[in-house]
Amino acid sequence: MSVSAVITVAGIAGLAVTFLLGFSFVPFIGKLEFGNTFDVREKRKPVVSSGGIILAIGTVSAVVLAVATDRITGGDIVVSGSLVGQEMYTKLWSGILMALSFSLVGLIDDYFKIKTQKNLGVPVKQKAVMQFFVILAYLTGLYMGMNGKPYMFVPFFGNTEPGFFYWIIGIILIYAAVNAVDITDGVNGLCGGVTLTAAVSLGIIAAIKGFFGFTAMSAALAGSCAGFILLNGKSLKINIGRTGTMFLGGMLVAISYAIGCPIILFLSGLSFFVIGATDVIQIIYYKRTGGRPLFKSAPVQHHLKLNGWSDKKITLTFTALNIFGGVAAVAAMYFGGYILR
């Protein structure tokens, strides 16, 4: 089976499974009354708040289908472009497991929101502890997969072995990335649209090096996001929730580590970090000024909404910004020596 065919299968399967699953998932969860919650800030009507489950199922099933189909037809797309096949499989499956673990943390948080019928889930400190253990387990798996000599690519500097800082960088970067993706929720299509563009840029970067297995993984993620956006276009009452946002953040982290350059997320996921930065700025400004906010609401997408911006305008603006970041990411990797490393 050709590489392009496997990538196409992954993308189409991700879109189809997510889209079709939505029509059976929403009524089912509605009957269980598990998804009946509301947004206090916007006074929305009840919605299925744990809709991110279908994103996780759609993405993972698409990856499994693509990889299995390729193996059955005599290929091995996961190890393409690499001389260390076992390491690539470790990056693939440990990344998916990490993303699903983050999704479980998000599901627990969504459950407590549903139970209390308020925008209060698991306390921040408790959630941070759960995330820390997921991050530590993932980094340990990668560390062992790289035979105790972890490395990462830095554009224009080449491969580096960060040593002890592998753990420090990993904990900070993964925690920041997953939570930056999480706080983009709250505007229809925003998180899915930005994730889709980030996945496309990471997939292109993977293809530059010949890591087509992770291009397929990116295609599955992008396809699932497209499927979810189409579901919202059908006016289904479904919210991605923390179940979905944390899964998406975990998948982007997994792909960035798989291609050997996790710091490229700052460009390929530019909108996530811009939005995340506004939340941090709001908190600092609030404390420094004795309780005076800089934005009407944070993160910035809520400020824009209170200023009259529509969901569509906000989504298109940040998606366009992320396309710019994605192009910059691809350029930085291509001209920064990634293909030669």
Neighbours of 306 (CB within 10 A): 12
- Of the candidates 228, 272, 226, 239, which has an alpha carbon nearest to the alpha carbon of residue 253? 272
User: Angle of helix 311-335 relative to helix 190-209, nearest 10 degrees?
Assistant: 10
Q: Is residue 119 pLDDT above 90, yes or no?
A: no
The predicted pLDDT at position 234 comes to: 63
pLDDT bracket for residue 239 (50, 70, 90): confident
Q: Output the six-digit token pair for 16.
A: 């189809």
The predicted pLDDT at position 81 comes to: 76
Which residues face 152 on adjacent strands? 160
pLDDT bracket for residue 168 (50, 70, 90): very high
Residue 271 maps to a domain: no
Residue 214 maps to a domain: yes
Q: Is residue 221 pLDDT above 70, yes or no?
A: yes
The rounded radius of gyration (Å) of the Cα atoms in the chain is 19
Cβ atoms of 252 and 177 closer than 8 Å = yes
The predicted pLDDT at position 83 comes to: 66
Cβ atoms of 289 and 300 closer than 8 Å = no
Lowest mean pLDDT across 162-166, 272-276, 287-291, 314-318:
287-291
Mean pLDDT value across residues 179-201: 92
CB neighbour class for 48 (10 Å; exposed up to 12, middle 13-18, buried from 19):
buried
Q: Report the b/e string of 143-172 with b at 16+ CB within 10 A.
A: eebbeeebebbbbeeeeeeeeeebbebbee
The Cα–Cα gap between 248 and 102 comes to 9
The predicted pLDDT at position 122 comes to: 80
Residue 300 maps to a domain: no
**How many domains does one find in the chain?**
1
Residue that is written with structure tokens 């889930």 in the block: 121
Q: What is the pLDDT of residues 131-146, one digit of tens each?
A: 999 999 999 999 999 9
pLDDT mean across residues, the chain: 88
Q: What is the pLDDT of residues 248-294, one digit of tens each?
A: 999 999 999 999 999 999 999 999 999 999 999 999 998 888 888 88
Residue 172 maps to a domain: yes
Structural domain boundaries enclosing 70: 3-263
The predicted pLDDT at position 131 comes to: 97
Helix (H) or strand (E) holding 160: strand 158-160
The predicted pLDDT at position 42 comes to: 44
The predicted pLDDT at position 45 comes to: 45
pLDDT bracket for residue 86 (50, 70, 90): confident
Q: Output the six-digit token pair for 109.
A: 């948080």
**How many angstroms separate the Cα of 323 from the Cα of each of 136, 201, 259, 296, 335?**
31, 8, 19, 27, 18
At position 57, the amino acid (one-letter code) is I
Residue 153 maps to a domain: yes
The Cα–Cα gap between 49 and 205 comes to 33
Query: Which one is predicted more confidently, 31 or 211?
Result: 211
Residue 298 maps to a domain: no
pTM: 0.92
Angle of CA points 126, 131, 137, to nearest 5°: 130
Q: Is residue 189 pLDDT above 70, yes or no?
A: yes
Mean pLDDT value across residues 196-216: 96
Q: What is the pLDDT of residues 16-62, one digit of tens each?
A: 999 998 877 766 655 554 544 444 344 444 455 567 888 999 999 99
Query: Which one is predicted more confidently, 199 or 230?
Result: 199
The predicted pLDDT at position 120 comes to: 66
